[in-house]
Amino acid sequence: MRSGLIVCALMVTVLGSCAERDTEPAGSGSNDTAVATERSHPAMTAANRILTALRNNDSAAIKSMFNRKNRENIADEQLADLFRQANQMIGDATQATELRAGSGPNEVLARVRDMGSEVCLLVLTEEDGQYLWDDINSAAVDEFQSMALIE
């Protein structure tokens, strides 16, 4: 899994490849216990707000949830493409179901849905006491589950 800033060229590659995989809803497996536990974590709230903004193609809302690097690197002209590609990747998911610690010190991964042997996830970074959107990505299920669960 990579960490880092979201850039349009990489996003096209990641989103395009993930959108083509077979999918099943997150939470359809053994992680249902984690779902109830995680609901009140501020990163879960942020992830669900990000999903809502993406699903609604809400430019103002999604821009307000960009982390610092995304605010600097994603132009308004790129938002239509971002929404189209992100919605292909998130599919019918309306809520994140699980949180895991990411590879960076302030990084949190929110599970959006299962895609065969991979998991679609939102990458959040904590900046100035709030969780903001860094990226949309995928990881192997085993790799994701090996990361520390955030309760």
Residues 70, 78 contacting (CB under 8 angstroms): no
Residues 82, 150 contacting (CB under 8 angstroms): no
Q: In a structure prediction context, what are the per-residue pLDDT tens digits for the chain, which is 151 residues long?
A: 433 333 333 333 334 444 444 444 444 444 444 444 445 799 999 999 999 999 999 999 999 999 999 999 999 999 999 999 999 999 999 999 999 999 988 999 999 999 999 999 999 999 999 999 999 999 999 999 999 999 8
Side-chain half-sphere CA neighbours of 40 within 13 A = 3
Element (H, E) at 132: strand 130-140
- At 17 the pLDDT is 40
Q: Which of 66, 29, 55, 15 is nearest to 144 (CA)?
A: 29
Residue reference for tokens 């809520």: 95
- At 40 the pLDDT is 77
Q: What's the predicted TM-score (pTM) here?
A: 0.76
- At 79 the pLDDT is 97
138 has which bridge partners? 120
